[in-house]
Structure 1
Amino acid sequence: MKAVLGLFATALLSTSVIAASPTLTPTTTKAGAALPVHIGGRAERVAEGYRRQWPGTYFESAFRGPSALLKIGQGDIVLHVSVDGAPVAKLVKPKPGLYRVAGLAHGRHAIRVDVASESQSAPTVFGGFYAASGTRPLPAPSRARQIEFIGDSHTVGYGNISTRRDCTQDEVWATTDTAQAMPALTARRYGADYQVNAISGRGIVRNYDGMAADTVPTAYPFTLFDKAARYADPAWHPHLFVIALGTNDLTTPLHPGEPWKTRDALHADYEQHYVDFVKRLRAHAPNAHVILWATDMANGEIASEVGKVASRLNAEGERDIGFIPVAGLAFTGCHAHPSTSDDARITMALSTYIDTHPEIWRQK
């Protein structure tokens, strides 16, 4: 009898190991019907699937069965594939084509693909999820809470998984993981859908070291960085905006030929444009709460300026405006950017505020 029980226990263990160890491999299998897709972030529908460029995009689906298929389109990208919340594979610059997730227990499963890398130079395409043999589609996941994160490299997660500060541009790209950055950590804590509308090196009125490129408020209204189509999603009504902009405006000295002759002139322009930007956001989401946060970089200049913006918004009648200065970050990521440990510290600072304002989630 003990031998039989032992064999039975061994069989259960083997089944558990198989069910807990799904695999992801390229396949030439013919794709079945498309599975419903839930998209976190901005994307446009194209013949090949979904074209996206803003960081932190994620795609989700659900199905019943032992396997499913996903299609990857053109573009250099780093993807995290997970099933039922457990990691399955990290794909770095994967070849376009069809991939099969297999080795799953029979039953209901949720599949997710997170874009980890930043795609400033060009958009990429995700082709969607498809049924495999024996797979039945289920409704795609959805969440009641929505958070929108707006910012620069500190929001993107620039070089946050790097083990050193000195990085080449290729290393920056490879060690940027928005899926492990503050927006994902915060949204996961509150069970919220989220968007990451951030661009490394960009600011409110001035980009890093005076670099010529669209600022975040200029690029913000559009689905892609080419500004060909304005973004619109009637289902996107964020309860909360979390904004961090100013690092690139203020951490480098002004150069001859820039529009501002003095630091005071830059401050005045920054404050006015930041106030106007928040008011434009509020015009589309009038009941949303707004958190402005800033590090103590630049000898406190950034936090001082963001605090002034928050004060002006409150003085001009904007309600539900919070300001959170974040100090004590180690900045051990690439080029002295926040690491994943810093991301966790920022998340805790935000969470302390959010937890004391439960009315955020009651906004409609």
Structure 2
Amino acid sequence: MKTILGLIAATLLATSAIAALPTVTPTTAKAGAPLPVHIGGRVERTADGFKRQWPGTYFEAAFRGPSALLSIGQGDVILRVSVDGTPAAKLVKPRPGLYRVAGLSNGRHTIRVDVASESQAAPTVFGGFYADRGTRALPAPARARQIEFIGDSHTVGYGNISTKRDCTQDEVWATTDTAQAMPALTARRYDADYQVNAISGRGIVRNYDGMAADTLPVAYPFTLFDKARRYADPAWHPRLFVIALGTNDFTTRLHPGEPWQTRDALHADYEAKYVAFVKAVRARNPGAHVVLWATDMADGEIASEVGKVAARLKAEGERNVAFVPVTGLAFTGCHAHPSTADDARITTALSTYIDAHPEIWTKK
């Protein structure tokens, strides 16, 4: 009897779980009123919704009812849709249009769309959330804590879900998941909103292999990579900045025609520009903590230089600045980048500092 009852209970549980799984499908339904949206990341509001290009952007809404609608605009993108914290769908290059999220109980729900892919080539557009039949809007989710992550491919999550190191560029794009990278893991640990202001291949003064493109500090002040509009949000005042820049400055040799004749000259320029960049970031948020971190790649050259930057900042009167070296990474992602397991290890290293400084969240 016990075995039979157990089988019945297991069957009912499995059936219930299957029935409770939400579905995300294209629809031709007419959208109702827009739901209030909470946005993580830099966006430019347009007639079509929210244009974004920096990685790790996310959108959230809350509602009461069995379903809701979301709108996807132009641009190649990978989106992760979740409901009440549970994954509902992964949309790879979805067609623009309206999508219904259904199969929910007739109660209160939160819905979230995370941009997983990197969008260096062009911005993409998210059209927002809308009421469906029987949907009632609720206030959008919000959090008291804010963290800003600044960096390169190690912050983006470049190829972090790949099962191999040798990847084509298409495979890199398909296996980059910022929603599973270190910034998302760290922010989730502290229930914080976050921005990921990072671009793969970019450095402080030099991009990967001397590539001609804006360095991160040049691109940083702007909402989109076209540099048409400077970013400004009076509600964005992070208490913590987590910065990792230097991998692309130092992992390749200097080439003839580059501005630095020697490695020492590159070091001097890097240190001066990095110090200036951190001071500029801190000027808008003088009470924030700054954590600079680096891996042990390039025979320790990156970590050595970042350590010098942190020491110089402290010597010049900058408070609440720390350097966190990260070692022991496997680098099994695309092109020897951190995997999601490495992302977790980086998060643990950073959390050691954050946990030791609870005043990050309390002091103004």
Tell me the TM-score normalised to structure 2 length: 0.96
The answer to whether the 8 A contact 1:310-1:321 is kept is yes
Partner secondary structure for residue 29 of structure 1: coil
Distance 2:128 2:353 in 1: 37
Match of residue 337 from structure 1: 337
Match of residue 317 from structure 1: 317
Distance 1:355 1:222 in 2: 31
The Cα shift of 1:11 comes to: 11
Match of residue 162 from structure 1: 162
Please state if 1:215 is matched with 2:226: no
Matches within 5 A, 1:39-50: 39-50=39-50
- How many positions carry a matched residue from both structures? 360
The answer to whether the 8 A contact 1:18-1:104 is kept is no
Distance 1:265 1:319 in 2: 27
Which runs of 5 or more residues in structure 1 are unaligned? Answer: none
The answer to whether the 8 A contact 1:53-1:119 is kept is yes
Q: Which runs of 4+ in 1 moved over 2 A?
A: 8-20
Partner secondary structure for residue 30 of structure 1: coil
Match of residue 141 from structure 1: 141
| Aligned residue type for 2:139 | P
Please state if 1:195 is matched with 2:208: no
The Cα shift of 1:362 comes to: 1.2
| Aligned residue type for 1:350 | L
Matches within 5 A, 1:1-364: 13=13, 16-17=16-17, 20-364=20-364
| Aligned residue type for 1:329 | L
Q: Does the C-alpha gap of structure 1 residues 133 and 11 become closer, same or farther in structure 2, counting only changes over 3 Å?
A: farther
The answer to whether the 8 A contact 1:242-1:290 is kept is yes
Partner secondary structure for residue 112 of structure 1: strand
Partner secondary structure for residue 360 of structure 2: helix
The answer to whether the 8 A contact 1:158-1:172 is kept is yes
Distance 1:240 1:284 in 2: 12
The answer to whether the 8 A contact 1:40-1:58 is kept is yes
Distance 1:145 1:347 in 2: 17
Q: Does the C-alpha gap of structure 1 residues 276 and 362 become closer, same or farther in structure 2, counting only changes over 3 Å?
A: same
Q: Does the C-alpha gap of structure 1 residues 168 and 10 become closer, same or farther in structure 2, counting only changes over 3 Å?
A: closer
The Cα shift of 1:18 comes to: 5.5
| Aligned residue type for 2:156 | V
Partner secondary structure for residue 362 of structure 1: coil
The answer to whether the 8 A contact 1:148-1:241 is kept is yes
Q: Does the C-alpha gap of structure 1 residues 14 and 199 become closer, same or farther in structure 2, counting only changes over 3 Å?
A: closer
Cα offsets for 1:122-152 (capped at 9, x unmatched): 0000000000000000000000000000000
Partner secondary structure for residue 130 of structure 2: strand
Which runs of 5 or more residues in structure 2 are unaligned? Answer: none
Distance 1:312 1:240 in 2: 19
The answer to whether the 8 A contact 1:66-1:105 is kept is yes
Distance 2:12 2:251 in 1: 59
Partner secondary structure for residue 302 of structure 2: helix
Partner secondary structure for residue 361 of structure 2: helix
| Aligned residue type for 1:248 | N
Q: Does the C-alpha gap of structure 1 residues 356 and 311 become closer, same or farther in structure 2, counting only changes over 3 Å?
A: same
Distance 1:363 1:165 in 2: 43
Identity of aligned residues (%): 83
The Cα shift of 1:15 comes to: 7.8
Distance 2:21 2:187 in 1: 26
Distance 1:297 1:91 in 2: 34
The Cα shift of 1:20 comes to: 2.5
Cα offsets for 1:47-76 (capped at 9, x unmatched): 000000000000000000000000000000
Q: Does the C-alpha gap of structure 1 residues 249 and 99 become closer, same or farther in structure 2, counting only changes over 3 Å?
A: same
Partner secondary structure for residue 70 of structure 2: strand
Tell me the TM-score normalised to structure 1 length: 0.96
Distance 2:13 2:333 in 1: 40
